[in-house]
């Protein structure tokens, strides 16, 4: 494509085709777009597909790993294996879903569009479930002592079982 663009005559004759091609690449559209492939996103997609398997659903999530967080309570209590709470994101993706392995950056609801790292995706329906952001810093001294001094938290895969 580069060599065609450097030659004006060829560029003029092919430009409309290139523009169309470019539009097709950037205007990705799915009937349903789900932001977040955690428990909420994965189970919502699976339930929708169970009702209608012809639905066109995309899940947006950059993560390699999926965590079943509720089990961390049992892990902390010493009755469940931490390794069983971690799976690859690919292994939990429902069959028939398009996985957009990218981060959602911003929302443009007036255009039914979400900006992703590699460009926008458009939707008819949007489901937003990116989880929560833990703010350890809200408690003075907590970040420094987490994982030390007998302080742990069942809200963290890394430290929920370190004192077992």
User: Is residue 37 a contact point for ligand FAD (CB under 6 A)?
Assistant: yes
Shortest spacing between CB 72 and ligand FAD, in angstroms: 4
User: Is residue 70 a contact point for ligand FAD (CB under 6 A)?
Assistant: yes
Tell which one of 48, 57, 58, 72 touches ligand FAD (CB under 6 A). 72
User: Is residue 94 a contact point for ligand FAD (CB under 6 A)?
Assistant: no
Tell which one of 28, 30, 36, 161 touches ligand FAD (CB under 6 A). 36
Query: Alpha-carbon distance 141 to 136, whole Å?
Result: 9
Beta strands 28-35; 65-67: pairing state: unpaired
Q: List, as one string, the DSSP characters of the chain.
A: -HHHHHSHHHHHHHHHHHHHHHHHHH-EEEEEEEE--SHHHHHHHHHHHHH-TT--EEEE---SEEE-GGGHHHHHTTSS-GGGGEEEHHHHSPTTPEEE-S-EEEEEGGGTEEEETTEEEEEEEEEE-------GGGSTTHHHHTTSTT---TT-TTTTTTT-
The residue count for binding ligand FAD (CB under 6 A) is: 22
Shortest spacing between CB 38 and ligand FAD, in angstroms: 2
Tell which one of 35, 58, 92, 126 touches ligand FAD (CB under 6 A). 35
Query: Alpha-carbon distance 51 to 29, whole Å?
Result: 21
Tell which one of 61, 85, 92, 97 touches ligand FAD (CB under 6 A). 61
Q: Going residue by residue from 117 to 146, which x/- string records binding to ligand FAD, judged by CB under 6 A?
A: ------------xxx---------------
User: Is residue 104 a contact point for ligand FAD (CB under 6 A)?
Assistant: yes
Enumerate binding residues for ligand FAD (CB under 6 A).
35-41, 60-63, 69-70, 72-73, 103-104, 129-131, 154-155
């Amino acid at each position: 494509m580069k060599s065609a663009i450097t030659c004006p005559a060829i560029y003029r004759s092919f430009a409309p085709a290139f523009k169309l091609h470019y539009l097709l690449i950037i205007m990705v559209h799915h009937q349903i777009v789900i932001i977040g492939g955690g428990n909420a996103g994965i189970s919502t997609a699976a339930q929708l597909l169970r009702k209608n398997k012809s639905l066109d659903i995309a899940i947006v999530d950059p993560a390699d790993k999926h965590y079943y967080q509720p089990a961390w309570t049992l892990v902390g209590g010493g009755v469940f294996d931490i390794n069983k709470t971690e799976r690859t994101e690919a292994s939990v993706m429902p069959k028939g879903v398009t996985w957009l392995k990218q981060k959602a950056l911003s929302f443009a609801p007036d255009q039914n569009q979400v900006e992703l790292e590699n460009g926008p995706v458009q939707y008819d329906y949007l489901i937003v479930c990116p989880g929560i952001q833990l703010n350890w810093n809200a408690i003075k001294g907590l970040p420094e002592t987490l994982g030390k001094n007998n302080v742990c938290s069942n809200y963290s895969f890394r430290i929920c079982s370190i004192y077992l």
